[in-house]
Amino acid sequence: MSSIVTEQGVLHFEAVGRGRPLLLLHGWINSWDVWRDAMLTFADDKSHRVYALDFWGFGDSAKRVNAASSAFQINSFVQMVGQFMDYMGITSAPIAGHSMGGTVALQFAMTNPKRVDRLIVVGSPIDGTTLNPFLKLAGYGWIAQMIWRFPFIRTSIMRMLLAGDSKEVQQMIFRDVQRTTLDSFFRSIGDLRETDLRGGLDGLRAPTLGIFGRRDNIVSPINAKLLSAGAKDSHVTIMEQSRHFPMSDEPQHFMNTVTGFLNGNGQR
């Protein structure tokens, strides 16, 4: 377990492998652990030093941070990525993000174009209105407070949303949600719901790969079309048997797609 101390609080990360730096960002109510198997694969090929970060309010990063009202929003997470790269002496690197992490990665690439070599977004909302309605409702404070006050409501909603996912994915989500707080839970998804990056896609300089599950019920696969239409150098892969976690649903296909893209072999 590794961490750095920032002005906002402790930032936890895991690192493995040797080679070029590669940053991995997780999604809402998730942690670095969503990338565990991918990290081990990257470590085996000895081409990357892989860093998987926990956003503030999630995983093992700080739960009580300075400027709490804004620390759990997309812009703050974008700043967090920059602070981490500065601390580690990383000038530029490929960045991959799952779900909310991909939205953060997109915005980081838009505002820091020289720091992102290649960009990978996995099941990520480019337009926040494409989120599942239950997730959008969780961004309202009074609803989040009710969900937090009555855990059985949260459990029932999660079981319904995850009913088609593997036991491993379900266990991961149920574990990770226990490590979030009310503030990080509703402020992050509330901000994500209001995010719309469509207008900035044509300014992306980094080659961009989008991976979306055909059966994703958390973030609509329509975001694949938004990415393909808006980003000039974009490559989109639809994984037919995947839901919101293609790295778990079709791991071999997923890793072949990602490694091929990182090695410059991505195709539309």
**Is a pLDDT exceeding 70 seen at residue 66?**
no
Does 3.40.50.1820 match the CATH number of domain 2-262? yes
Among 39-43, 67-71, 147-151, 260-264, name the one with the lowest average pLDDT: 67-71
Shortest CA distance to 101 belongs to which of 176, 174, 3?
Answer: 176
Distance CA 154, CA 169 (A): 16
**Is a pLDDT exceeding 80 seen at residue 9?**
yes
The whole-number pLDDT of residue 45 equals 77
The pLDDT-based confidence of 259 (bands split at 50, 70, 90) is very high
Average pLDDT, the chain: 93
The pLDDT-based confidence of 70 (bands split at 50, 70, 90) is confident
Largest separation between any pair of C-alpha atoms in the chain: 49
Tell how strand 20-25 and strand 93-98 pair up.
Answer: parallel
CB 139 within 8 A of CB 72: no
Distances from the Cα of 83 to the Cα of 7, 122, 268, angstroms:
10, 23, 33
The whole-number pLDDT of residue 67 equals 57
**Is a pLDDT exceeding 60 seen at residue 157?**
yes
Distance CA 196, CA 186 (A): 18
The whole-number pLDDT of residue 65 equals 75
**Is a pLDDT exceeding 70 seen at residue 68?**
no
Domain segments of the chain as ranges? 2-262
Q: What is residue 173's three-state secondary structure? A: helix
Mean pLDDT over 133-143 rounds to: 92
Query: pLDDT exceeding 70 applies to what percent of the chain?
Result: 97
Burial class (CB in 10 A: 0-12, 13-18, 19+), 57: buried
The pLDDT-based confidence of 71 (bands split at 50, 70, 90) is confident
189, two tokens: 């998804």
CB 111 within 8 A of CB 135: no
pLDDT per position as a tens digit, 202-223: 999 999 999 999 999 999 999 9
Mean pLDDT over 224-233 rounds to: 96
The whole-number pLDDT of residue 46 equals 78
The whole-number pLDDT of residue 266 equals 47
pLDDT per position as a tens digit, 111-125: 999 999 999 999 999
Bigger pLDDT: 68 vs 26? 26
